[in-house]
Structure 1
Amino acid sequence: MSNNSEHMQQAIETLEVKLAYQEDTIEQLNQIVTAQQRQIQQLEKLTSSMLDKLKNLQSQENQINDGVELPPHY
């Protein structure tokens, strides 16, 4: 029975080591996902801002073009 007990103790220690590594890996992945989510949010804000500026520029360009008359030969 001593051999069986030692085997069980070794199996438990092996599982504890694996669990510790898994917990560490999960924490690292959580930090990466959190950082990526922040980056995605920043990129979404930047994209929205750029889209607003582009629309504004297009609107200004249309207003400028409305005031310019082409010569009759065009």
Structure 2
Amino acid sequence: MTEERLADLETKITYQEDLIEELNKTVFQQQQMLERLEAMCETLARQIRSLADAGSEGKVSNERPPHY
């Protein structure tokens, strides 16, 4: 009986080790994706600031459109 229980425990440990390895890979991939998304957000924020700065240069905020 103890031999069977020992084999069951070894099997469970093996499955747990495989699961932990798989979870570790998933977390690593998610971290890489998060870093890429953060870099993209930063790039987009810089572009938006640049466009906003370029668009506001030389314009008066209350200027009437040309068709008035």
- TM-score, normalised to structure 1's length? 0.80
Which has more radius of gyration?
1
4+ long deviations beyond 6 Å:
none
Identify the match of residue 9 of structure 2 among 15, 24, 35: 15
In percent, how many aligned pairs have the same letter?
Answer: 31
In structure 2, the partner of 1:54 is 48
Aligned residues: 64
State the one-letter code of the partner of 1:51: A
Displacement of 1:65 after TM fit?
Answer: 1.7
What is the alpha-carbon distance in structure 2 between the residues aligned to residue 29 and residue 52 of structure 1? 35
What is the alpha-carbon distance in structure 1 between the residues aligned to residue 32 and residue 5 of structure 2? 41
Q: CA RMSD in A?
A: 1.6
State the one-letter code of the partner of 1:9: E
Displacement of 1:62 after TM fit?
Answer: 0.5
What is the alpha-carbon distance in structure 1 between the residues aligned to residue 64 and residue 14 of structure 2? 75
In structure 1, the partner of 2:27 is 33
Unaligned runs of 5+ in 1: 1-6
State the one-letter code of the partner of 1:48: E
Displacement of 1:27 after TM fit?
Answer: 0.3
What is the alpha-carbon distance in structure 2 between the residues aligned to residue 58 and residue 48 of structure 1? 15
Is 2:54 aligned against 1:63? no
